[in-house]
């Protein structure tokens, strides 16, 4: 008897690594070695993959203390805990051990366990047993089984660790852990979480990373295990955490901003960092509680490491970063970045191997600005590039050609650079360009690839010369898909489609980070267009991975709209009816018309386009019946009073 006594939705007491105690929890999912636990009364981003040995049946009293054994949550990050986890995993993998393993702490559990009182709950308290019973019922229905073979969602709490040591809650660091929690909360509120197959992430291996990055780059962002006992740490090992040769453009931040550096040196002549400053760089905050107060970075970091030169920037908050905008937490960022890339690989594997139809990788830090040899724009490893190249290597007969569509508002300079001469990876980016004025200033329409990769790089570079016109939004993005992306994709005929799904084109982003007005419906439509493409060309194989998106509310609802669309079964007959009455306008603005015409004018030497599109009078309209009907347009405006969001319990 091993995992057979586990029932989904059942209540257990589960070890919560960051709080160091058992809490009432519900079992959501399990795989070969780990169990996915939702802690009752905690937000859904606290859900975690833990070992079977870390759960037990609910005790009736509150005298639950940590038992005298080792706990090995997936989130444990110290070297010793990593070792423990490895040993623990080995135990599980060992069939003999497996057979001997009994779970006395669960033996009395009947299946739909319910609280006997006395357990510990999160801040929102106990959740509705009825809701969880409903989850359990759904899980074992045919519908539930079908849902878990359709869309995967990969999430892993280690990606929340990457944050600035200053723990600023301000907008000073737009790429922050709250991005993931806000999306998960939205998926929870919309009751989407039960319809996905939950997958846990893993760290990408150095060998996987090396498919897209130089060894030097991997070394820069993969620190050696830190040894806690040493009084003095050699500065070069700190230096190794940070990119020694950032290209000049990284000095300009993704949202603007100027680099400031202080000249005070905190190193001794032989290159050792003074211990007092070492403490600032290595705060002792191994736990990932969001309320951590272990660092109080109120004084500015007047330190410039003297070797190598131009190593780091001082950010506005006073901490060091690899650029004016990109934080680097010496203890955590490397793990988060490796888990982001590895999580996407895990999801892609499940899709290619046929366990899933499509999926969404809820990852950070993002990846599309990371070049083969440089971190920038919040990105360290290029998640999509690493996963795409691993996939091509791993499944040479199944996956020969990959299409990457990048709808983040920023150009994916890293992805473009990595695949610029690659004949079998087509990169199509739609982005705000403003004739090179918008970050990262690359992505001109005439950047088409080199060597074998000529024609395999398509930049739909949007510029709006009329500041009075409506900003780019749904009709502009959908028109780019309809008139350019779809026809080119059909000619390329990929074996799988990756989407660099940034949501910073969503309405609600400030001008420096976005400035466009794409709605959740727009993202849903783009997802639908890509799904139909995938269905038509590559048996539905599609993966979306999170890139940008910084205003939390628009980010959350837009990402949830995309996930909701992924869940819908795709009809094999490409049904145009699905697009009926979906847009408030089917006429893209003038800036978009000019930008699309420019793109087609350049790309026509590589791809075929309908003759109408080549005409100077083409307005790139969308089908008229995609226009929302009168009824939708004239519907009374929603009451402006804030609506109380219903408390959603369970999954």
Query: Cβ closer to Zn ion: 164 or 212?
Result: 164
Could you tell me which stretch among 278-286, 386-394, 497-505, 523-531 binds Zn ion (CB under 5 A)? 497-505
Say if CB 149 and CB 195 are below 8 A apart.
no
For Zn ion, give the closer residue by CB, 52 or 430.
430
Asked whether position 319 contacts Zn ion by CB under 5 A, the answer is yes
Paired sense of beta strands 48-50 and 542-546, if any: unpaired
**Length of the chain (residues):** 651
| Positions 548 through 567 that interact with Zn ion (CB under 5 A) | 548
In 435-479, the DSSP E strands lie at 457-462
With beta carbons less than 8 A apart as the criterion, state whether 27 and 8 touch: yes
C-beta of 625: minimal distance to Zn ion in Å? 32
Question: Which listed residue (74, 164, 187, 341) binds Zn ion by CB under 5 A?
Answer: 164
Minimum CB distance to Zn ion smaller for 58 or for 283:
283
| 166 or 458: CB nearest Zn ion | 166
Q: How far is the CB of 548 from Zn ion (least distance, A)?
A: 3
Decide: is 166 part of the binding site for Zn ion (CB under 5 A): yes
Minimum distance, C-beta of residue 128 to Zn ion, in the bound complex (Å): 38
The minimum distance between CB 254 and Zn ion, in angstroms, equals 7
Contacts of range 463-466, beta carbons closer than 8 Å, 24 or more positions apart: 463/432, 463/433, 463/434, 463/435, 463/591, 463/594, 463/595, 464/434, 464/589, 464/590, 464/591, 464/592, 465/591, 465/594, 466/590, 466/591
> In angstroms, what is the minimal distance from the CB of 323 to Zn ion?
13
Give Cβ neighbours of residue 83 (< 8 Å, ≥ 6 apart): none
Nearer to Zn ion by Cβ, of 522 and 548: the residue is: 548
How distant, in Å, are the alpha carbons of 186, 297, 407 from that of 333? 25, 18, 25
In the region spanning residues 503 to 542, those forming contacts with Zn ion, defined by CB under 5 A, are 504
Cα(510)–Cα(456) distance, integer angstroms: 32
# of chain residues touching Zn ion (CB under 5 A): 10
Among 369, 410, 431, 509, which one carries the catalytic annotation? 369
CA-CA distance, 458 to 492, in Å (whole number)?
Answer: 12
Helix, strand, coil % (nearest 5) of the chain? 35, 15, 50
Judged by CB under 5 A, the chain residues 395 through 434 that form the site for Zn ion are 408, 410
Q: Contact region for Zn ion (CB under 5 A) — 60-68, 319-327, 343-351, 587-595?
A: 319-327
CA gap 438, 471 in Å, rounded: 14
State both tokens at 300: 């500015």
DSSP letter string, 383-406: HHHHHHHHHHHH-TTT---EEEEE
For Zn ion, the closer of residues 109 and 504 by Cβ is 504
Q: Is 317 in the site for Zn ion (CB under 5 A)?
A: yes
CB 283 within 8 A of CB 295: yes
Nearest residue (beta carbon) to Zn ion: 548
Shortest Å distance, C-beta 566 to Zn ion: 21
**Angstrom distance (rounded) from CA 184 to CA 48:** 13
| Choices 10-18, 38-46, 94-102, 160-168; region in contact with Zn ion by CB under 5 A | 160-168
Closer to Zn ion by Cβ: residue 109 or 319: 319
**Residue 283 in contact with Zn ion, rule: CB under 5 A:** no
- Shortest Cβ distance from residue 329 to Zn ion (Å)? 10
Q: Nearest-CA neighbor of 305 among 250, 245, 235, 258?
A: 235
Please confirm, yes or no, whether 369 is among the known catalytic residues: yes
Residue numbers annotated as active site: 369
Residues that bind Zn ion (CB under 5 A): 164, 166, 168, 317, 319, 408, 410, 502, 504, 548
């Amino acid at each position: 008897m091993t995992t057979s006594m586990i029932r989904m939705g059942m209540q257990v007491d589960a070890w919560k690594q960051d709080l160091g105690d058992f809490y009432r929890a519900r079992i959501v999912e399990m795989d070969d070695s780990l169990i996915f636990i939702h802690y009752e009364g905690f937000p859904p981003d606290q859900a975690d993959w833990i070992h079977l040995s870390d759960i037990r049946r609910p005790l009736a009293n509150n005298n639950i203390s940590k038992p005298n054994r080792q706990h090995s949550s997936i989130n444990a990050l110290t070297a010793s805990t990593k070792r423990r986890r490895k040993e623990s995993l080995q135990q599980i993998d060992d069939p003999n051990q497996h057979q001997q393993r009994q779970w006395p702490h669960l033996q009395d559990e009947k299946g739909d366990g319910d609280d006997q009182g006395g357990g510990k709950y999160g801040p929102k308290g106990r959740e509705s047993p009825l809701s969880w019973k409903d989850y359990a019922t759904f899980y074992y229905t045919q519908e539930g089984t079908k849902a878990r073979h359709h869309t995967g969602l990969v999430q892993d709490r280690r990606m929340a660790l990457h944050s600035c040591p200053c723990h600023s809650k301000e907008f000073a660091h737009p790429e922050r852990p709250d991005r993931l929690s806000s999306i998960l909360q939205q998926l929870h509120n919309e009751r989407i979480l039960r319809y996905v197959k939950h997958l846990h992430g893993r760290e990408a291996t150095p060998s996987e990373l090396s498919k897209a990055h130089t060894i030097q780059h991997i070394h820069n962002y993969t620190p050696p295990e830190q040894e806690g006992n040493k009084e003095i740490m050699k500065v070069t090992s700190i230096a190794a955490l940070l990119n020694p040769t950032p290209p000049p453009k990284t000095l300009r931040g993704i949202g603007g901003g100027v680099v400031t550096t202080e000249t005070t040196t905190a190193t001794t002549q032989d290159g050792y960092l003074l211990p007092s400053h070492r403490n600032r760089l290595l705060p002792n905050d191994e736990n990932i509680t969001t309320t951590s107060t272990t660092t109080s970075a109120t004084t500015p970091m007047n330190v410039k490491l003297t070797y190598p030169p131009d190593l780091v920037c001082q950010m506005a908050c006073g901490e060091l970063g690899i650029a004016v905008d990109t934080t680097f937490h010496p203890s955590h960022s490397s793990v988060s970045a490796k888990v982001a890339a590895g999580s996407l690989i895990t999801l892609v594997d499940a899709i290619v191997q046929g366990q899933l139809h499509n999926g969404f990788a809820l990852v950070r830090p993002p990846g599309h600005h990371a070049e083969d040899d440089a971190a920038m724009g919040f990105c360290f490893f290029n998640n999509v590039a690493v996963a795409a190249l691993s996939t091509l290597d791993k499944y040479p007969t199944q996956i020969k050609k990959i299409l990457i569509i990048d709808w983040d508002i920023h150009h994916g300079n890293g992805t473009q650079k990595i695949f610029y001469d690659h004949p079998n990876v087509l990169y199509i980016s739609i982005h705000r360009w403003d004739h090179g004025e918008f970050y990262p200033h690359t992505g001109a329409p005439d950047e088409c690839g080199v060597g074998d990769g000529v024609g395999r790089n398509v930049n739909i570079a949007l510029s709006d010369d009329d500041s009075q016109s409506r900003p780019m939004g749904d009709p502009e993005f959908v028109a780019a898909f309809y008139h350019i992306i779809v026809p080119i994709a059909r000619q390329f005929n990929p074996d799988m489609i990756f989407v660099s799904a940034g949501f910073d084109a969503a309405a609600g982003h400030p001008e420096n980070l976005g400035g466009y007005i794409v709605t959740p419906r727009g993202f849903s439509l783009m997802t639908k267009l890509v799904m139909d493409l995938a269905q038509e060309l590559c048996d539905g194989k599609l993966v979306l991975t999170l890139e940008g998106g910084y205003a939390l509310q628009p980010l959350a609802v837009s990402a949830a709209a995309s996930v909701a669309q992924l869940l819908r079964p795709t009809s094999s007959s490409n049904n145009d009816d699905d697009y009926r009455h979906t847009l408030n306008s089917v006429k893209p603005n003038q800036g978009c018309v000019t930008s699309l015409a420019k793109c087609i004018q350049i790309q026509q030497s590589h791809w075929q386009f309908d003759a109408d599109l080549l005409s100077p009078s083409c307005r790139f309209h969308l089908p008229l019946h995609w226009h929302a009907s009168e009824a939708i347009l004239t519907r009374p405006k929603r009451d402006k009073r804030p609506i109380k969001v219903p408390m959603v319990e369970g999954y």
